[in-house]
């Protein structure tokens, strides 16, 4: 999206449903979109991972080569998901951050940080981080 209003409309239409995770599908779509027009950041918010790790890591590495960082925000404490989400974010040049359902402000801060990064790059994120929450500071330290 290039318009804030368009993004807001899409985000307001997001809903959560049960079923197997679709991380591979999201990452593959990001690769396809980036090849058509550079994507500055991808955000994934999830609580588990049920997909083959090697496939996810391969696609994350591809996104890293394309300079499209993936920001993996992890709700909950599933150790397998944490490990996979950390690998995906690292291979893509993005960042990993946990949060829980009791911390909506944390997720809001993290999303704001990604928006700052997408619009102004690492320097803008560094500046934003200096006056932000500890979670944003941790996220910022992961960006290359």
Please report the pLDDT score of residue 1 as a whole number.
65
Provide the pLDDT for residue 10: 76
Q: For residue 97, what are the β-bridge partners?
A: 73
Question: Splitting the chain (144 residues) into consecutive groups of 10 residues, what average pLDDT does each group show?
Answer: 72 73 94 96 94 96 98 95 98 95 87 94 95 95 89
Report domain extents, the chain: 21-142
Please give the backbone phi and psi of residue 24, each rounded to the nearest 5 degrees, phi first: -60, -40
- Our separate counts of H helices and E strands in the chain read 6, 3
Total residue count of the chain as it appears in this document:
144
| CATH domain 21-142 topology | Rossmann fold (3.40.50)
């Amino acid at each position: 999206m290039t318009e804030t209003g368009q993004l807001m409309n899409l985000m307001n239409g997001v809903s959560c449903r049960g079923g197997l995770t679709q991380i591979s599908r999201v990452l593959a779509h990001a690769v396809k979109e980036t090849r058509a027009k550079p994507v500055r950041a991808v955000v994934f918010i999830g609580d588990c991972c049920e997909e083959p790790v090697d496939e996810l890591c391969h696609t994350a590495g591809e996104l890293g080569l394309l300079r499209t960082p993936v920001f993996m925000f992890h709700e909950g404490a599933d150790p397998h998901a944490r490990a996979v989400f950390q690998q995906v974010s690292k291979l893509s040049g993005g960042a990993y951050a946990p949060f829980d359902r009791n911390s909506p402000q944390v997720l809001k801060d993290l999303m704001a940080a990604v928006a700052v990064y997408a619009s102004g790059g690492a320097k803008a994120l560094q500046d934003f981080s200096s006056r932000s929450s500890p979670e944003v500071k941790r996220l910022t330290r992961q960006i290359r």
